[in-house]
Chain A
Amino acid sequence: MSMAGTARVSGTASEDVRWYQRAVFYEVLVRGFFDKNDDGTGDIPGLIAKLDYLEWLGVDCIWLLPFYQSPLRDGGYDISDYWTVLPEYGQIADVAQLVDEAHRRGMRIIADLVMNHTSDQHPWFLESRQDRTNPRADWYVWSDDDQRYADARVIFVDTEKSNWSLDPQRGQYYWHRFFSHQPDLNYDNPEVADTMLDVVRYWLDIGLDGFRLDAVPYLFERDGTDCENLPETHAYLRRLRKEVDSLYPGKVLLAEANQWPEDVVEYFGAGDECHMCFHFPLMPRMFMAVRREQRYPVTEILARTPSVPEGCSWGIFLRNHDELTLEMVTDEERDYMWSEYAKDPRMKRNMGIGRRLAPLVDADRRVGELLHSLLFSLPGSPVLYYGDEIGMGDNIYLGDRDGVRTPMQWSPDRNAGFSRADFAQLYLPPLMDPVYGYQSVNVEAQMRNPSSILHWMRRMLEVRRQHPVFGTGTMTVVSTDNPSVLAYVREPAGGDPEAQAAGVAGSDPALAAVAGFVGAGGQRGAEATPPDVVLCIGNLSRFAQPAMLPLQRWQGMTPIELLGRVPFPAVGEGPFFITLPPYGFYWFALMERQGSGVTADVGPAST
C-alpha cells in the first residue's frame, strides 16, 4: 500500500507487515468528523461517508480517538465498557463496516486503547469500591492512606492535588495518575492483565489494524520509584506484543509515552514491545526553531534521540488533540514557549498550550507549510490532526481541551456541513470567527481552489509516498554556517531492500521520466538500481537566507526539486550554494546525469 495506494489491505494478515514505517497517519475525533444521523454528534457511519475524502488526501492510516462506552468526562479516555461502542457513535457492526470500507480503499484503522485506567463508572470499579472483599476488590489500586508512592508526580496539576482520592464507600484511597474519576487498574492482579489481552484480541478480531496505547508508562506502581517506566510495565508490553505478533501479524502498537527520547526508546524494547512511539519533544522544538530562527532546537533533540531497533519507527506530529506538550522541555524553554505562543492565560492548559496549528503560527501559511515539510521529511511517520490540512482554527473559550475539538469544517453551509441537526444540538459549535470560521476555511472551498493549503498538503503526501526513504531512510544533517538553515539528507539505510528497489525516482513516474538522470551514489550497472536519496533544506527565518552546503559527497549529482521536478545546477567541487525565500523549503532528489541528450538541464553544470 505504500506504492501510490494501489495495493489494498486484505483485512487480516498483510504481506507488508512494516506498513506503518511508510504510512501517514490521520487522527480523527469521531465526535467531530461527520454526523450521519443528524443528532449533532459525529458518528462512525459519518466517518465511513468521508473515507473517500481521506483516500483522496492520501492518508494511509486513520487513528480514532476512543469510541468506547464512556461517561465522557475526559473525551472518552474514561472508558466504562471496553466491549461496546458509545451509542452516539454507532455499534460494533459500524466499526466492522468502517474497517472493511477503509481496507477496500487501501487504508488502515487504529484506535486508542486506554489500558492504565477506567472511568469510575466502569462496572469493575463500581464493584471494587463496594467493600474490601468483593471479587474485584483488587482490580484497582487501593490504600489505607494517601502517602504511598509519594515520588510519583501529579500530571494534571491544574485539577488534581494528589494521585490518591478517598472513596467514602470503601473507606480507602484509590490510585489515579490522571483525573480522580479515572482510577488506575491494578496490573499486579493477573485477572486484570489477562482481561486487557482479551480486550485487545476482541478488537483485532473485529479488524482493527492496531492500537495507540494511551499512557503506557504508568501501568505498574512500585514503592520508592516515580512509578513510571517500570520493568514490570515493559514485561507486560512484551507479553502484549508477543500475543499480537503471533495471532495478528501486521498489526501495530503505538505507544504514548511523554518522556525524553532516551527513555521513550525503552518502549520499543529490543524490537519486542511497541512498533511505534510518539516522539514528543521534537514537536515543541519545531515551533521553537521557527521562533528562534535557528535549527539547534531541532537538531539537538535529534542528536540526542537514540536510534530505534529494526522495524520500529517514531510517530511525529505537529499538533494533536492534546496540548502543545511542554512537559519535555526545560522550565526556561517552557516559559519561553508560553510567552511566545500563549500570551492569553486561557490558552494555557496544564503543562501545555491548547491551540491548533494555524493559530499557533498566526495563520502564516508559509510557516505552516515549512513545519509540514519538516513533519513529512524528518525520520518517523507523520501524524496529522483532523482539520489541520485545511488550516482550521480553535476556540479557546470552550472548556478543557474542547477548543481544538470543534466540528470538522466541510463546507460553508449550515453547521459547517458537519451536521444537519439544529445548531443548538451540536456537541460543540463550529468555528465562526472571520479568520478561521467555516465560511472561509472549509474542505469544499479548498478542493475547488488549486492553490489551497489542502491541495498543497495532498501534493506533499503524494511526493512523500513516492519516496519510501522518507519513512525508512537514515537522516544526516548537512552542515551550514547559516544557523537559520536546516538541511539534511535522507538515504536508504543499508539493506533496506524496499527503498533500494524503489530506486532513484521512488515511484514517481514523472521524475523517472526526467531524461537522463539516475539516482545518487549508485553503481551504473543495469542490474543495480541507484538508491533514492533526498536532500531537504528549510529556512527557519522570516527573512530570505543564503546557504552554502558541503555536498561534495554528491559531487556531479543534479538536485531535482520534487514538487516541480525542476533540475537545479549540479553539485560541484565547492559548496552547493542556494537561496531560500522566507520560511522557504526544498526537497530534492539527488540524481546523476546519464549519457547525453539531456533536455531538462538548466543552469551551469560544473562537471
Chain B
Amino acid sequence: MVEVDQFEVSTGRFGLVQEGLPAGLARLLGPYLARQRWYAGSGVPGELRVLEGGTLVELPAQARLLWAVVVANDHRYQLLLAERPAEDATRRVAGHEAATLGSVEGRAYYDATVDAEMALALLEAASGGAYKAKVARPLGAEQSNTSVVYDDKMILKIFRRLAGGPNLDAEVTSALARAGFAHVARPVLRWRKGGTDLAFGQEYLAGGTDGWALALTSLRDLYTPEPLRGDGYKDQDRSDPEMRGGDFAAEAERLGRVTAEMHLCMAGAFGTSRDWSTSWSSLLGSLEADLRHIGEDMVGAARSLLQRLRSLSDLGVALRPHGDYHLGQVMRTDAGWYVLDFEGEPNRPVEERLRPTSPMKDVACMLRSFDYATSYATRFQMVQAEMAGAGAQLPELAARGEVGPRASALEPLAQAWKERNGDAFMKGYQSCSGIEELLPADPADRETLRMGYELEKALYELSYERAFRPEWAEIPLHALRRLFGGP
C-alpha cells in the first residue's frame, strides 16, 4: 500500500462492484444537476438519461459510493454520489445543501466529494489501492471539475463534463512532465475508463498562491501611500514601483523564464511547425473582421497595425500553446512558479485550442493579464470603497466613464507597474537559452508578433466584456488604444 506522500505514477483502475443505480434515485438527479456550477445548461434539464452507473465502493455502516454518467442537453456528466442511512447523512451534509439530492426509502443521497470518508474511498478505488490517504479536503467545484486534496500532498481533479476521450489538461501535463518540465505539478494518477479521463491526480502544491493574488498584493502596496521617510516635507517619488516594498519584478522575471521553459518542453513533446503562415493569415483575416467592434476613431490605426502584421516575413515556429495563459493559471510556491490547467480557453472549440501558434501568443496573453491586474486594482478594488462611501453603484458610474478621481490618479502608477513587470517578464523569457530557436530572429519581428496576439486577445476580451460585463469593456479598449500607439 503506497501512502500518498510516496508518489509513484499510477494509471488507476476502473471497476464497479455492482452495476445499476438504486430505483428512485433517477428522479432526484435533475434538480441536483441544475444546482451544480459545472452544469452547462440552465434550469432543471427536461430530459436526463443515465448512461451507465453502479456501486464503486461498499463502505461500512451501510454506506455506498455510487458512480454514474448521465446525459442532459447533449452534455455528458460524471456523478459521484454518496448513499447513507438518512440519520447518518444529516451531520455530513450540513452546510452543503446544494450537494444534497434527497432521500429515498430512508436512504440519503448527496455529492460524495463533500464527504471525507467517501472521498478517501474514491482515491483508493480510483488508484486500484495504490494510494491511501488520511485526510481528504474538498476544494469545491470549479467550472468543469471538482477537486479534492489528500493529506495536503495530492490533488485529484474529478472531471465533471466528459468530452469522451483524453482530457486535454491530463494529456498535456503528463506530456510536459515526461519532457522534463519541472514546473507542472507532477502527475501521479490518471483514472480512465476506456479512452475517457475520469479524474487526474497531481502532486498538491502546498503553500502555493496564484499569480493573480500575488500581483494584487504588489499593486495594493503600490497604490497605498506610505508615510514619508527621511527629512523635510518633500514627498518621495512614489511612481517608481522599483522603490516600493511590494515590487513584483523579480517574480515576473522568474515567471518569464518558466514560461520559456514551458514552450521549449511543449516543442519537445508535441513538435513544432515552421510553415504555418496560412494559419497566421487566417488569424489576421478574422482580426480584420473583428475590427468592426471597435470605435471609428481607432480603425485607421488598427489597419496600419494589421498591415505591419501582414508584412511579417519571419514568424518563427508554431507549437502547442498553453492556450489560456494568465496570472490565474500560474502558482507561486516555495520552489518557484508552477503552470496549471492546460485545457485551453474552455469556450473555444477543441480543434481551435489544439492549433499550433507562435509561443508569443502565451506571452501576449500573460502581458494582457498584467494589464487586467492593474486595471482591476485601479478601477475596481481601489475605487470601490470610495464609491461605496458616495453611495454610488460602481457599474453605473463606470458606464458613465466616471471611475473616480482615485483611479485616474493611480493610472501613472498602473502604467509604471505594467511596464516594469512586462519588461521583467520579457527579460526572463528571452534569457532562457534555446528560446530564440522558436522566435523570429529579429527582435522587432518578435515584438510585432506579440502585438498581433495582444490585439487578438484584447479584441476577444472586448467582445466578452461587452456581452457579460459592460462596465469592464474600458479595460480592453484602453489596451487597444495603447496598442495602436495612443496614450
Interface residues of A (CB under 8 A from B): 291-296, 299-300, 302-304, 332-333, 336, 339-340, 343, 362, 477, 479, 481-484, 541-543, 550, 552-553, 573-574
Contacts and interface: CB of A to CB of B under 8 A. Distances in A.
B25 interface: no
Query: Chain B: interface residue count, which band?
Result: 20 to 34
B149 interface: yes
Interface in B199-229: 206-210, 213-214, 217, 220-221, 224, 229
Contacts of A553: 134-135
Contacts of A541: 217
A483 B217 contact: yes
Contacts of B247: 292, 336
Given A477-B206, A482-B209, A574-B95, A543 B245 contact: no
B90 to A, nearest CB: 13
B207 A299 contact: yes
B316 to A, nearest CB: 29
A483 B209 contact: yes
Interface in B234-249: 242-243, 245-247
A552 B332 contact: no
A304 B250 CA distance: 19
26 contacts: A292-B217, A292-B245, A293-B217, A293-B245, A294-B214, A294-B217, A295-B207, A299-B207, A300-B336, A303-B334, A303-B335, A332-B250, A336-B247, A336-B250, A339-B243, A340-B245, A343-B229, A477-B334, A479-B206, A481-B213, A482-B209, A543-B224, A550-B149, A552-B116, A552-B137, A553-B135
A483 B245 contact: no
A542 B229 CA distance: 16
Contacts of A343: 229-230
- Give me the 6 closest cross-chain CB pairs, A-B, nearest first: A303-B334, A291-B245, A483-B209, A300-B334, A299-B334, A479-B206
B471 interface: no
B474 interface: no
B332 A296 contact: yes
Interface string B239-265: 000110111001000000000000000
B135 A552 contact: yes
B334 A293 contact: no
Contacts of A484: 217
B152 A483 contact: no
Given A296-B334, A542-B224, 5 more contacts: A339-B242, A340-B245, A343-B229, A479-B208, A541-B217
B354 to A, nearest CB: 31
Select the residue from B134, B213, B224 with max chain A CB neighbours within 10 A: B213
A326 to B, nearest CB: 15
Contacts of A543: 220, 224
B213 A483 contact: yes
A513 to B, nearest CB: 31
A246 B224 CA distance: 60
Given A292-B247, A299-B334, A481 B210 contact: yes
Interface in B310-339: 332, 334-336
Contacts of B208: 479
Contact of A333 (B152, B217, B250): B250
B341 to A, nearest CB: 16
B206 to A, nearest CB: 5
A551 B288 CA distance: 53
Given A300-B334, A340-B245, A573-B95, A481 B209 contact: yes
